[in-house]
Structure 1
Amino acid sequence: MEEMITFPKDFWWGSAWSAEQAEGRGNTGKAETVWEHWFKEEPNRFYNRIDSSVTTDHINHYKEDIQLMKETGHNSFRLSISWARMFPDGGTGKVNPKAVEFYRNLLTEMNKNGIKPFVNLYHFDMPFALQEKGGWESREVVDAYVNYATTCFKELGDLVYHWFTFNEPLGPILGSYLEGFHYPALVDFKRGAQAAFYTILAHALAIQSFKELQLNSKIGVILNLSPTYPRSQQPADIKAAEIVDALYTRSFLDPMVKGTFPEKLVEILKEYDQMPIYEAADLTVIEQNTAQILGLNYYEPRRVKARLTAINPEGPFLPEWFYENYDMPGKRMNIYRGWEIYEKGIYDLCIDIRDNYGNIEAFISENGMGVADEERFMNDKGQVIDDYRIDYIKDHLAYVHKAISEGCNIKGYHLWTFIDCWSWINAYKNRYGLVSLNLENQKRTIKKSGEFYKEMSRNNGFVYDTHRLV
């Protein structure tokens, strides 16, 4: 039976993207990022050899884009600040006044149009000069980040609704040190553990600085979290799932929200000689400066089973020493991205945060569906008729509503993404937006999902067959 699902008053309806994926270089002055450098080195690694120099050219279209936000029902939007734009001499030195002017104009325009700015400080876009100094393995880079964060708080703090230290900090660790999808594509778990620790320390130090400034906003972090499901209740499968959960989920969630590190993770790092270097005072800083708000990025579950084959002891230490991925029969897939579609996972994630993290104020900060060749679904007016995206949004939000009805402190939903934007390595292969982008002329056209999103925001909900919920 269909019924109206209504969300709490003042629910945050919006979407998200990042500076490197949407702004384009512009003319404000900007240091080279790791992505721009990598493209020069290995353009063959990037889909159709498309780089991030233009992307959605938001820097030149922001006023038009903000009107499109209004036309698609946004009352909030999450962007990121470009560290390389704010400090074009390589990530340190003096702040760039042209960058400050751009971001103040952008944030002022958002506020003027009733769109709350959610601002993230770091979304994978390390200035290359700082990567050359060791990136997140370097304490000097941690200090540079805190200076950058503090500068943003001072220059832009009067215009920002909520701040976030990092988006998906696990991503660069996996990509840069384990799986080869971020520059410099190493395979070295111990160096990755060091980079992870310093990322967590940078998060805490930025929060410490934020609190000293006493701004009228909150600060938190955005984490990509996937509930981990064992193949079976067989003890070896359960053990594999517990280890995977510690490595991929609790590794950032616990220290950034609770201020402590999960015991199981520490045990593994010590047993296999993978512990990072740190000072005792660092642990105090991490303990005392935790997130005030939590963004939850959810796309797919993680399904695992016990290993069936032996590990090569001469090979590099990797998380896969402890598990194998479980390819569950019958699962629904987004075939374009290779991700399982499992809506109930978003509910399980919310319940986990409610029960194990003090029911911290949280929101769904990313969720979305990338589809290739969306031109197939254009009507004769050039509009993408993406009913599949509308169904995806409704199915996930129905479970978010269920979680809220059971006491989860979820305040909003941000879709990935607003306008089709450039994706790391995959460029524009898959499209995620509520608004389509013509790469040849930068024309924006609202998709059917964008019209749906406006109606959903206006009604603060939608009609749904609740029998589809488990």
Structure 2
Amino acid sequence: MRIILSTGILSLLVAVSGFSDNSVRRFKDGFLFGAASAAYQVEGAWNEDGKGRSIWDDHFHSDPDQGPAPGDVASDSYHNYKRDVEMLRELGVDVYRFSISWPRVLPRGFSNVKNEPGLKYYDNLIDELLKYNIQPMVTIYHFDLPVVLQHLGGWANPYSVEWFEDYARVLFDRYARKVKYWITVNQPNSVCEVENYENHLARSTKGVMDYMCAKNLLLAHARTYRMYEKEYKKKYGGSIGISISVNWAEPVTNSTENVEAAEIYREFKYGMYLNPIWSKSGDFPKLVKDRVAKKSKEQGFARSRLQSLSKDDIKLIKGSADFLGLNHYTTFLTSPSKGSHPVPSFADDVSVDVTTKDEWTQSHSAWLKSAPYGLYKACLHLNKHYDYPAIFITENGWSTDKGLKDSSRSEYIQQYLKALLFAIEDGTQALGYTHWSLMDNVEWMAGTSERFGLYEVDFDSPERTRTARQSALVYKRIIQKRMVEERWTPKNLKISVSEVKTEL
């Protein structure tokens, strides 16, 4: 029997800064700690060794007078992967989550032309990790679609399901014997909102393309999972999941309209991707289907803008994950939208405004504030609605400005991992945690202005020198002790593989 904290008890434990209970809680020995990155954000070498162009390369190079793009060199992990692995060794992690660049291994997007130097780069990285008993966790797709496929409609094209499955097969054939943890797609809910990330670059119709993308990505994920399940899983014993952005949302007040706004926000923002895979019934959430159908009818459409899933689709997608990759950063407070949105659009379908509390600590990113209790509540929400899925925290992180003394990141890590321990105590099946990110990287449209790294990267140096921040030592301590010591700080910022004990 699982015991869930009552609201009264929880209110005593939750403070603005996080959980205040002083009981000692530890992560079990099988819990995996790690760090994360993504190909476009760290690799650089944007046009070396036969790599094709991604949609981000195309976007940043569309203006010939713009100069070098932030991802052209990025953190230069393409040439510094051994230093990256050394940093992981310094931290003492169990797993490294990274993504493979689709255009680096298939420069024309399709599987008929493979780029051996690109494939070899990932062989080298994986072998270097395994050499030091660090398990690779490979994300197959992390936002960097080959531009040639975007020109064919990208994820709105139903053939994208086949393109992705073919691409995944190339990776499984090459790396499945070495890689035991796979993630098909990172944040499909970010990919498919035209206001966000890669579809910010797509000239598509709002409120139509979003839902075409959602259906195709779910089918691409599911078909890839079934392929792995049938052809690779028994032979190599690996597991495969999908990473979904689940930032907690709750009503700004307990009024009926604000409570309803929170439910609408959750169902549209992540229920659309969780429900088809983990719910008992499968399919898109009823709230989403009913709401889009109603608005579509009012707008004069002959049918709902949300493409339906067939019975075969629902069967294919349902249960198509060994674990849920949970990307969680912050919490939002919801209320019905007071402004107007383009019609039709995903934003209009949702019609929810979000805000935060003034007293929550602000990061260097406008959208990111610290509210550790949100991770706890998000986990309990998943437990309740999706029957305690196996969860791997695949992203959780904090942005700062330049500098090595990042006490706010250290506190963020401590408070959020403490919240996770409470969630585990209350039944959450947490397999592990990979912090975002190992090093400073290109934060998409923000470039290098927002620093998420445990290690600072000197973007002004040709070598892209990496230096451990205070938070790297704090995280290392947590991994070593398998517990959270609040407000613990290192004696100095020196860190190395050979001087672990003296520096702690």
TM-score, structure 2 normalization = 0.84
Kept in 1: contact 2:190–2:197 (CA 8 A):
no
Letter in structure 1 aligned against 2:101: S
1:459 counterpart residue number: 481
Structure 1-normalised TM-score? 0.90
| Counterparts of 2:197 and 2:52, CA distance in 1 | 26
Q: Deviations over 1:181-222 (max 9, x none)?
A: 731264511111111110111010100111111331000001
Within the candidate set 325, 329, 334, 2:353 is matched to: 325
SS at match of 2:74: coil
2:365 corresponds, among 330, 333, 337, to 337
Output the amino acid matched with 1:213.
Answer: E
SS at match of 2:159: helix
Deviation sequence 1:427-466 (CA, Å, 0-9, x none): 110111111111123111111111222222111123238x
Aligned to 1:251: 272
Q: What does residue 396 of structure 1 align with?
A: 416
**Native 8 Å contact 1:207 1:290 kept in 2:** yes
Task: Report whether the alignment pairs 1:201 with 2:201.
Answer: no
Which residues of 2 match residues 267-416 of structure 1 at below 5 A? 267-273=290-296, 274-276=305-307, 280-287=311-318, 290-308=320-338, 311=340, 315-320=343-348, 322-338=350-366, 339-372=368-401, 374-375=402-403, 384-416=404-436
Deviation at 1:90, TM superposition (A): 3.0
- Asked if 2 retains the 8 angstrom alpha-carbon contact of 1:73 and 1:458, the reply is yes
Paired residue total: 451
Distance 1:139 1:224 in 2: 23
Q: Distance in 2 between matches of 1:102 and 1:446?
A: 25
Offset of 1:124 from its aligned partner?
0.5
Structure scoring higher RCO (CA < 8 A, sep ≥ 6) equals 1
**Counterpart code for 1:161:** K
| Residue aligning to 1:57 | 76
Once the two structures are TM-superposed, the CA of residue 42 in structure 1 deviates from its matched residue by 4.8
List alignment gaps of at least 5 residues for structure 1.
376-383, 466-470
Find the aligned partners of 1:414 and 1:54 in 2 and give their Cα distance. 24
Is 1:83 the counterpart of 2:102? The answer is yes
Shift of 1:68: 1.1
Q: Which amino acid aligns with 2:293?
A: K
Q: Which of 34, 38, 58 is the equivalent residue of 1:18?
A: 38
Q: 1:159 to 1:240 in 2, by over 3 A?
A: same
Contiguous gaps of at least 5 residues in structure 2? 1-20, 297-304, 488-504
RMSD of the TM alignment (CA)?
Answer: 2.4
8 Å CA contact retained: 2:108, 2:146: no
Deviation at 1:343, TM superposition (A): 0.5
Question: Which piece of structure 1 moves more, 209-218 or 96-105?
Answer: 96-105
Q: Percent identity?
A: 25
Measure, in 2, the Cα distance between the counterparts of 1:239 and 1:43: 48
Q: State the match for 1:8 in structure 2.
A: 28
Matching residue's letter, 1:236: E
Any idea what the Cα deviations from partners look like across 1:309-331, whole Å, max 9, x if unmatched? 6x57x843343455442435534
Shift of 1:276: 2.0
Distance in 2 (CA, whole Å) between partners of 1:214 and 1:208 is: 10
Q: Structure 1's 15 and 227: CA in aligned 2 closer, same or farther, altered over 3 A?
A: same
**1:444 maps onto 2:475 in alignment:** no
Report the AA paired with residue 351 of structure 1.
Answer: L
- Which has the larger displacement, 343-352 or 328-337? 328-337
| Counterpart amino acid of residue 448 in structure 1 | Q
Using the TM superposition, give the Cα deviation of residue 307 of structure 1 relative to its aligned residue in structure 2, in angstroms: 3.5
- Aligned partner (choices 423, 440, 447) of residue 420 of structure 1: 440
1:30-69 Cα offsets, whole Å, 9 max, x none, are: 110000001122589x9x9742111111111111210111
**Structure-2 separation of matches of 1:217 and 1:260:** 26
Distance in 2 separating the partners of 1:68 and 1:317: 44
> Runs ≥4 in structure 1, deviation > 6 angstroms?
178-181
SS of the equivalent of 1:431 reads coil
One-letter code of the match for 1:276?
Q
Whole-Å Cα distance in 1 between the matches of residues 477 and 195 of structure 2? 43
C-alpha contact (below 8 Å) 2:101/2:141 kept by paired residues: yes
For residues 128 and 146 of structure 1, the distance between their equivalents in structure 2, rounded to whole angstroms, comes to 17
Closer, same or farther: CA 179–43 of 1 in aligned 2, 3 Å: farther
Q: Distance in 1 between matches of 2:320 and 2:120?
A: 30
